Amino acid sequence: MTTTRRFSFEWPAPWSRGHYKQMQRRLDYLCQAYWWFDDGIIEGEPFGRLLLGVTVSARDQWWCLQRATDLATEIFAIAGVRRPPYPVWDKVEGPRNSRSRYATPAEYVAASD
């Protein structure tokens, strides 16, 4: 079963480095290349702020956090930032699915209920 979380990485100070378009292009590419990233967005340009938002799926919450942190590290590196800010996340409710390596057969799940 997979777990899905919505992560937000907000830079804590005014953002003057730019690179919004390059970051958004890279984020779009990574969301298309890997099934576990979805709905990636870079916001805050008109206000001099930076917010990276992305939905991440993984086998558990810790893998979600690791994948999101790795993604943020790569995106923030475009602007020369070595360590991204710590994320805030929300659990995304939705249908549970077995997209993991070892899918659980439906008859096993029904028998265990």
Query: Do the beta carbons of residue 5 and residue 88 sit within 8 Å?
Result: no
Report percent pLDDT > 70 for the chain: 81
- What total of structural domains would you count in the chain? 1
Rama region for 6: left / alpha / beta (φ>0; ψ in -120 to 50; rest): beta
Phi, psi (degrees; rounded to nearest 5) at 60: -155, 175
**Is 7 a member of any domain?**
yes
CATH number, domain with residue 67 = 3.30.70
Range of the domain at 108: 3-92+104-112
pLDDT of residue 96: 54
Q: Higher model confidence: residue 44 or residue 112? A: 44
pLDDT of residue 91: 87
**Is 98 a member of any domain?**
no
pLDDT band at 87 (very low <50, low <70, confident <90, very high): very high
